[in-house]
């Protein structure tokens, strides 16, 4: 069984090695990573990892019609590593697969769902924990406060990424889910609790049912915010997908949930830790990692001398963790969203 991860990166060198080590430790066999416009040495780290046989690195320079992420996915459709894979997952460096079965490996999840052609890995949003200063600390150690299960609103709390069996059912990869269902195909979809999903998931849907906990077997830990200083750098970098808006205070508020402690990912730390240390001990990677950390500290200092990033940093300091809505308020938001969607699709008479 060959499991492939596909990702798109820019200036993520400070976080790259932990992410690679974690997913390699839980059974991901190979990665195809597209880089663009790197200033911190991420591309050089990927070159070294490619030399070591851990991944395939593809440079993805602009200009792009729809942004670097969509361009990368178009190229990944024909990549030899993708053609060899049995399972494929498109995901980002701030997303960590957290499997609750057996030893916490991909093989445990796939064995538990032998009929699955696609497994929806629902996000669990991990908040900022009140961390102000960026430090070179593993993300999975630093942030352990998360959103409660089955939040009805914001709907993004139920977004997923797709672990896809390569059966030929779909013609194209996508950011959250595969696209282009082939004629006659009927892939079987399951959520992260092992529950079959309706047939409508074969063609569309980006989120699992928000009124139930879909994390029983697997969840996707989404560390979207990080330290406040680091978020200022993230805002400056911008999004890899031009179809969505930029990073701002609204993005922060809709993800900064810190109600529940969740340290379940630490059960795989004995697998992840030695691999992570071995990468840091490599003389080339260790030096490049340290360079990427220095670059990030220098970038933070530089940005905080400017008015707009400094104002954003001040707003982050002023903003408390996000309060989950009551069930009544969440249902009200869902009704409003449904009405807005209905009015947009209703023909003008």
Per-residue pLDDT of the chain (349 residues; tens, 9 = 90+): 899 999 999 999 999 999 999 999 999 999 999 999 999 999 999 999 999 999 999 999 888 888 899 999 999 999 999 989 999 999 999 999 999 999 999 999 999 999 999 999 999 999 999 999 999 999 999 999 999 999 999 999 999 999 999 999 999 999 999 999 999 999 999 999 999 999 999 999 999 999 899 999 999 999 999 999 999 999 997 755 544 457 899 999 999 999 999 999 999 999 999 999 999 999 999 999 999 999 999 999 999 999 999 999 999 999 999 999 999 999 999 999 889 877 765 544 3
User: How many angstroms separate the CA atoms of 188 and 180, rounded?
Assistant: 15
Q: Which two structure tokens, joined as six digits, stand for 298?
A: 């220098």
User: How many angstroms separate the CA atoms of 231 and 219, rounded?
Assistant: 23
- At 348 the pLDDT is 43
How much of the chain is in helix, strand and coil states, percent to nearest 5? 40, 20, 40
Our CA angle for 56, 43, 10, nearest 5°, is: 105
Strand, helix or coil for residue 114: coil
- At 240 the pLDDT is 54
Q: How far apart, in Å, are the Cα atoms of 316 and each of 2, 54, 193, 227, 248?
A: 42, 37, 34, 10, 10
pTM over 0.75: yes
- At 342 the pLDDT is 78
- At 37 the pLDDT is 93
- Is residue 70 within 8 Å of residue 241, measured between CB atoms? yes
Assign residue 172 a region: left if phi > 0, alpha if psi is -120 to 50, beta otherwise? beta
């Amino acid at each position: 069984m060959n499991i492939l991860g596909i990702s798109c990166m820019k200036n993520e060198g400070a976080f790259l090695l932990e992410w690679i080590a974690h997913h390699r430790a839980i059974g991901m066999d190979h990665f195809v990573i597209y880089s663009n416009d790197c200033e911190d040495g991420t591309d050089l780290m990927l070159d070294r990892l490619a030399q070591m046989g851990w991944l395939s690195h593809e440079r993805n320079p602009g200009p792009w019609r729809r942004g670097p992420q969509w361009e990368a996915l178009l190229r990944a459709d024909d990549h030899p590593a993708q053609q060899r894979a049995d399972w494929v997952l498109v995901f980002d460096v701030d997303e960590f697969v957290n499997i609750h079965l057996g030893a916490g490996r991909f093989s445990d999840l796939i064995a538990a769902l032998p009929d699955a052609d696609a497994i929806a890995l629902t996000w669990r949003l991990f908040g900022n924990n009140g961390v102000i200063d960026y430090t070179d600390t593993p993300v999975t150690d630093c942030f352990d406060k998360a959103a409660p299960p089955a939040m009805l609103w914001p709907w993004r709390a139920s977004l997923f990424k797709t672990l896809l069996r390569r059966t030929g059912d779909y013609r194209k990869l996508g950011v959250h889910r595969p696209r282009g269902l082939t004629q006659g195909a009927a892939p079987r979809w399951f959520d992260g609790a092992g529950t079959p999903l309706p047939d409508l998931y074969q063609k569309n849907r980006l989120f699992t049912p928000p009124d139930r906990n879909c994390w029983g077997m697997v969840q996707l830990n989404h560390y979207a915010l990080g330290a406040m200083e680091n978020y200022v750098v993230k805002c400056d970098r911008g999004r890899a997908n031009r179809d969505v808006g930029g990073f701002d205070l609204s993005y922060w508020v809709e993800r900064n949930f810190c109600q529940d402690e969740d340290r379940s990912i630490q059960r795989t730390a004995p697998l992840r830790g030695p691999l992570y240390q071995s990468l840091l001990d490599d003389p080339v990677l260790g030096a490049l990692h340290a360079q990427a950390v220095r670059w990030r500290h220098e970038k933070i200092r530089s940005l905080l001398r400017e008015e707009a990033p400094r104002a954003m940093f001040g707003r982050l300091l002023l903003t408390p963790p996000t309060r989950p809505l009551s069930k009544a308020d969440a249902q009200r938001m869902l009704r409003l969203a449904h009405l807005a969607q209905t009015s947009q699709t209703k023909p003008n008479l």
